[in-house]
Structure 1
Amino acid sequence: MSDLVEVILTANSQFYRVFSLAEIAAMRRLWLDAPHVTCVHPGWRTLTGYEAIQQSWEAIFINQGPVRVWPSDEVISFEDDLVWVTCIENIDMSATDTGRIMQAQARNAFQKTESGWKLAHHEASASPGHGLPAANQRLARN
């Protein structure tokens, strides 16, 4: 495995670790502080800009709290100055009445900065047959 692939997989894993722990300060550090960054949470409209995205994570963390989330089936692709990671988000819903692992399809883009690789895009949508049931979503909605 190349060094760059290892670095990107580590950055992607760090994103899901911070997501799991619901640490807003750490989430802020993971994202590129720029007006062009974008994020699409399941069932939400596209959020653009660093502050809008951070406000969304804060709302999610307040409503949901810590929840175990981890990536699998990661595939990396390179496009100009971005490195994309397509993966499955596995979400442990055992703290809810569903009591099972839900899955979402996700795509994360990382952009190189002077301080390392930062998230420039995150998008997740329910996986057919394994996604988040609408009646039980614990994510805050815009």
Structure 2
Amino acid sequence: MKCIHPGGELIIGPERVLESWRVVFENSKPWRFEILDLDLEVAGELAWASHVERLHLTVESGILIAESAATNLYVRREEEWKMVLHHASPIARRFFEE
């Protein structure tokens, strides 16, 4: 398992990746997450989803909304779908404040 948070360095190994996410969520102020424009494709044991992720973050000046274009890749293992890849890139033109 590997992860690179925005502006961060490569994190390798399940324990380190899960710990990095624990820190992110513990240090985040209230937020809300939406999935927009979902497109899902399935081919046998492989599925991929492309969508826009919209994150609403509470900041001192109000609510900051950031959107990213994302792709998730899933593999079916023993009748369960497991995410094997997540990639998201900020959509710069879609940063705005409420």
* TM-score range relative to shorter protein: 0.7 to 0.9
Mapped contact 1:84–1:107 kept (Cα < 8 A): yes
Which protein has the larger Cα radius of gyration, Structure 1 or Structure 2? 2
Q: How does 1:49-68 map to 2 (within 5 A)?
A: 49-68=13-32
Identify if the C-alpha distance between structure 1 residues 55 and 115 changes in structure 2 by more than 3 Å, giving closer, same or farther.
farther
Q: Which amino acid aligns with 1:62?
A: E
Question: How far is 1:85 from its partner?
Answer: 0.9
- Larger strand fraction of residues: 2
Secondary structure at the residue paired with 1:129? helix
Mapped to 1, the partners of 2:95 and 2:4 lie a distance apart of: 15
- Larger helix fraction of residues: 1
Identify if the C-alpha distance between structure 1 residues 131 and 115 changes in structure 2 by more than 3 Å, giving closer, same or farther.
farther
Mapped contact 2:67–2:94 kept (Cα < 8 A): yes
1:111 to 54, 60, 75: 75
**Structure 1: 5+ residue runs without aligned partners?**
1-36, 133-142
Question: How far is 1:89 from its partner?
Answer: 0.5
**Structure 2: 5+ residue runs without aligned partners?**
none
| Residues 1:77 and 2:41 aligned together | yes
Q: How does 1:1-142 map to 2 (within 5 A)?
A: 37-78=1-42, 81-93=45-57, 95-96=58-59, 97-114=61-78, 116-131=80-95
Residue by residue over 1:20-41, the C-alpha shift from the partner in whole angstroms, topping out at 9 and shown as x without a partner, is xxxxxxxxxxxxxxxxx44443
Mapped contact 1:42–1:124 kept (Cα < 8 A): no
Question: How far is 1:77 from its partner?
Answer: 3.4
When the two structures are aligned, how many residues end up with a matched partner?
A: 95
Residue by residue over 1:6-27, the C-alpha shift from the partner in whole angstroms, topping out at 9 and shown as x without a partner, is xxxxxxxxxxxxxxxxxxxxxx
TM-score normalised by structure 1 residue count: 0.54
% same residue: 26
TM-score normalised by structure 2 residue count: 0.72
